[in-house]
Amino acid sequence: MVALGAGPAAPEIDRAQRLIEAAEFEEAVRVLDRTLDQADLSDRSLVEIYRLLGLAHLNLGDEGAARDAYEKLLQAQPDFELSKKEPPKIRALYARIKEDVKKRRLKPVSLTFDPPAAVEGGRPVELGATIQNLGLGSKARLYFRRSGSQVFSSVDFTRERGRPNAFLVTLPAFELAPEKKPYEIEYYVEVSDMSDRRLAGKGDAFAPAHFSVVSRGATSADTESASRWYQNPWVWVGGAGALAAIGVVTLVVLSSSHDSGSLPVTIRVSQTP
């Protein structure tokens, strides 16, 4: 699972949860329907909204509406199960819906991402991708590093408003510092579901793709030489002290993105006395 931002819809979602607990299912549906109209809902909020909508409709006996909500939810969480505390009739209805959804063929996710061979350093770079059939709760992420580095940084794609299959990612300017000589950025793209299962991608950590970062006005010859910079003996001869100093500065500039990690956590609530 990944982190859930609170977002503007959180109070409404909390209110709908309380209404369902109080068996006010019709009011809960009204609140949730209104919430769906809000702009800038995160995928996580949408997952939660559809879960509650499905539950409210099930309790109202509206199988059709419940099916619609759970179909969207099951795209993101195929193993979602109703709480065992729900009455048997409700659980049977959900089991029927889930079985029907499973029988249908889901269209595979496809990714098209072709950045330019070279980008200009010193300014943020926006790159576009086409991702089809990206289910609710799934995400696409670009991992990148300067050639020679060990650790990848990452940045998430965001969906373009009004264009469901078009996604954008922005590399900040400080990650593409302008230098006299072109250098390479290695990258790979991963599209994954809420359980971090890879659905589609381009490249991987062991075989990344790459593009060059050039200074303004660089020629194609300069770009060509970027792939052979390490063959230049002057890179290795002399200037070691200057390189170390530059490395320290670079480390400070890039520290927020390279020196970070993720921590999977299992939260436990004990049931033992």
Partner 1 sequence: MRYSALLLASCLWSFPQFGCDGPSGTGGVGLELTLSRALAIQASKFQVAIVSKGRDYDCQKVQTDCLRRQVDLAQLVEVTDALGKRQKAVRFSSRLSEGNDAGTPRTQDVVIEGIAVGKNYAVVIEALSFDTPPKLLGSSCNYVEEIRAGSNDRLIANPMATFPTPVDCDPTL
Rule CB under 8 A: is residue 81 a binding residue for partner 1? yes
Quickly tell me which residue has 């003996």 as its tokens: 233
Nearer to partner 1, 231 or 272 (CB): 272
Q: Phi first, then psi: what are they for 127, rounded to 5°?
A: -120, 140
Nearer to partner 1, 24 or 120 (CB): 24
Cα angle for residues 81, 139, 54 (degrees, 5° grid): 30
Quickly tell me which residue has 């209404």 as its tokens: 19
Q: Which distant-in-sequence residues (6+ apart) come within 8 Å of 214 by Cβ?
A: 118, 119, 120, 121, 182, 222, 223, 226
Sign of CA dihedral 81, 87, 88, 91: negative
Nearer to partner 1, 4 or 92 (CB): 4
Rule CB under 8 A: is residue 99 a binding residue for partner 1? no
Site string for partner 1, 25-54 (x = CB under 8 A): -----------------xxx---x------
Interface with partner 1 (CB under 8 A), residue total 45
Site string for partner 1, 193-212 (x = CB under 8 A): ---x----------------
| Minimum CB distance to partner 1, residue 90 (Å) | 11
Q: Report the C-alpha gap between 155 and 170 in whole angstroms.
A: 8
Nearer to partner 1, 110 or 257 (CB): 257
Nearer to partner 1, 30 or 91 (CB): 91
How many other C-beta atoms lie within 10 A of the C-beta of residue 237? 8
How many other C-beta atoms lie within 10 A of the C-beta of residue 207? 8
Rule CB under 8 A: is residue 133 a binding residue for partner 1? no
Token pair in block for residue 270: 């004990």
| Positions that interact with partner 1 (CB under 8 A) | 1-7, 11, 13-14, 17-18, 21-22, 42-44, 48, 81, 83-85, 87-88, 151, 155-156, 196, 256, 258-273
